[in-house]
Amino acid sequence: MAGPLSGLTIVELAGIGPAPMCSMMLGDMGADVIRVDRTKAHVMDRLADPKFAVHNRSRRSVSIDLQKKEGVEVVLRLIDKADGMTEPFRPGVAERLGLGPDICLARNPKLVYGRMTGWGQEGPLAKAAGHDINYIALTGALHAIGSKDKPMPPLNLVGDFGGGGMLLAFGMVCGLLEAQRSGKGQVVDAAMVDGAALLLGGIYGMAGAGLWSDERESNMLDGGAHFYGTYETKDGKHVCIGSIEPQFYDLLLDKTGLKGETLPAQMDRKAWTQLKTKLAGIFKTKTRDEWCAIMEGTDICFAPVLSMKEAPDHAHAKARNAYVDVAGFAQPAAAPRFSRTKESVKGPAARRGQHTDEILGERGFSTKEIGELKAAGVVGPQA
């Protein structure tokens, strides 16, 4: 069976970071995503081979020069029969190109128009440049992560991908569902600063209840607690534990040989540093594999800290087919999983303009028109 979004067409104006991840998710779920790439190489073409751009997988590519009015008209003809589109530009750029929501929705009133920005479409920072680290800094997320002496960016997972790409994908699906009922499209304003704040909602709740401190490494989930964190093992590797619940903590004490000792209470914050030191010494007595043999699969809430090279080979990942080989290397499989309308990776990222003739032909452009557009540099050949 085709994926759950089979039959839907999304036009994606090419970008980097969160917007491509959104389109990958929609494509993995069966949508026909048409990526509108530039006609010439760009700073975004960072990888020698596009197959390594994982977030560009599961869709086709057409290359169009958006600086030419004829190119804009080609995109509008693609949008005429699309269910949705996404754009990754700073506020006002799509409007200047002639591809803003007013024009696109006038052409296709059922269109769901997704906008992916860092700061949102309005506000004093809306038109400023930024990256993941800046957006999560403004929400409190960056301040909450790291060691006592300094914040530490959690890669670009929280702003770009969790608070950005996934938020836009959710917004697009919500808009597409509503359009099926109302027959009307609308604009989805997905901002990474909003999404990152939303991800932090539970921590804001704990802070409101007086259960969270602004001081890093002093809370239950930020490395402050001895029962929730990482420990180095004898071989220089690491394991992690999350023994929050009393019964899980009791099992941790049993497996580490501490059960029966007179210890401070689990939630005695004043004793956490002392207990972390004690556990650190114990975990250093065995290798990571030895601790896995003792703890993995138990209710301690334990896992080895694997590298990206190791993760695909773990027994649990293999049992769930959590990683797939696409174009010769392992990458995360499509998710979430569906029992009937199966999700799947359609293939590696296309080369820039790889499907230009195919896509334009499907949208009613004649062979002569396509030839003329190529000759004028409006659409480009395959990169």
E strand or H helix that includes residue 147: strand 146-147
Q: How far is residue 85's CA from residue 201's CA, in Å, rounded to a whole number?
A: 29
Angle at 351 between CA 348 and CA 357, to 5 degrees: 115
How many Cβ atoms sit within 10 Å of the Cβ of residue 83? Answer: 23
238 is catalytic: no
Q: 28, 65, 83, 160: which one is catalytic?
A: 160
CB 9 within 8 A of CB 78: no
Cα 190 to Cα 22, 166, 268, distances in angstroms = 11, 10, 41
42 is catalytic: no
Q: 80, 131, 289, 314: which one is catalytic?
A: 131
Residue 357 CA to its chain's centroid (Å): 31
Q: How far is residue 367's CA from residue 136's CA, in Å, rounded to a whole number?
A: 48
The position carrying tokens 């499209």 is 185
Q: How far is residue 45's CA from residue 47's CA, in Å, rounded to a whole number?
A: 6
Residues in a beta bridge with 12:
35, 86
Q: How far is residue 96's CA from residue 127's CA, in Å, rounded to a whole number?
A: 14
Q: Which residues are catalytic?
A: 131, 160
